[in-house]
Amino acid sequence: MADYREAFVGIDVAKLRNAVAIADAGREGEVRFFSEVDASATNMRRVLERIANRFDRVPFCYEAGPTGYGLYRLIRSLGHECTVVAPSPIPRKAGDRVKTNRRDAVSLARLLRGGELTAVWVPDEGHEAMRDLVRARAAAVEALRVHRQQVSAFMLKHGRTYPRKKGWTMRYLRWLQEHSSITPHIRSRSRRWSKQFASPGSGSNVWSARSKSSSRYGLWSHSYGCFRHCEASI
């Protein structure tokens, strides 16, 4: 047991380069900055293996963020523990406002050693793909809603009011085309809007089809039903 060595590694992830720090086991163990590494999978694999060869047990951690879970899966594939940390509960010293990659990596390593970090749930690739799909469709629905408001406001500004209660049907799109001859400027905009909203392969329709296709797999059938119920209220 005297030769047993353990260390805790904190990684501050970024788009191009990751900062790596190591905290030796024990309350008084040294905490040191290791290096700043290119964020590519090949370089990270090389550095991770280099660190792991020095110790018997090496838990890793990094903050959840826009870089996703690729690094987590890489570390796990090498047979090591990895914690993806929730950023908001990370303890921070009062008045410590200087933020650098090096300082963040060192702080993560120290806090991981002390057990002071809160882990987030890491989805598998199937869950992550479905999550991305649902978020993309939600963004498309929101963009469609904004564009519809812009069209309605634009037509109202020029004194064109749709005579029926229910808008944004095929009848509404034909009405929009009929009123496209106000001016050349309005004509071009109206035609573009009509094509955009009438196209079956545009905007949220594409994401709806893909979500429905994914829901055919048993795991997602209930989730898709709930998703469509929520969508109806948009």
**What does the pLDDT profile of the chain (234 residues) look like in tens digits?**
457 789 999 999 999 999 999 999 988 899 999 999 999 999 999 999 999 999 999 999 999 999 999 999 999 999 999 999 999 999 887 767 778 899 999 999 999 999 999 999 999 988 888 888 888 888 888 988 888 888 888 888 878 888 888 888 888 888 877 776 655 555 666 566 656 665 544 555 555 555 555 554 444 444 445 445 444 444
Domain membership of residue 45 as a residue range: 7-114
CA distance 107 to 111: 6
Enumerate the β-bridge partners of residue 22.
Answer: 9, 32
3-state secondary structure of 35: strand
Residue at 21 is within a domain: yes
Domain end call among 80, 114, 148: 114
Residue 167 has what pLDDT?
A: 84
Residue 148 has what pLDDT?
A: 85
Residue at 120 is within a domain: no
Residue 56 has what pLDDT?
A: 93
Q: What element of type H or E holds 98?
A: none
Residues 216 and 169 in one domain: yes
Contact criterion met (CB below 8 Å) for 7 and 18: no
Domain count of the chain? Answer: 2
CA distance 197 to 205: 10
Residues 61 and 135 in one domain: no
Domain end call among 95, 114, 133: 114
Residues 106 and 129 in one domain: no
CA distance 90 to 100: 15
Contact criterion met (CB below 8 Å) for 1 and 56: no
Residues with Cβ < 8 Å from 93, sequence gap 6 or more?
none
Residue at 36 is within a domain: yes
Residue at 211 is within a domain: yes
Phi-psi region of 115 (alpha: psi -120 to 50; beta: other; left: phi over 0): left
Residue at 221 is within a domain: yes
Residues 145 and 227 in one domain: yes
Residues 96 and 133 in one domain: no
Contact criterion met (CB below 8 Å) for 203 and 140: yes
Residues 192, 197, 201: CA angle, nearest 5 degrees: 105
Residues 180 and 144 in one domain: yes
Residues 130 and 103 in one domain: no
CA distance 207 to 135: 10
Token reading at 192: 């573009």
Residue 143 has what pLDDT?
A: 87
Residue at 1 is within a domain: no
pTM: 0.71
Residue at 136 is within a domain: yes
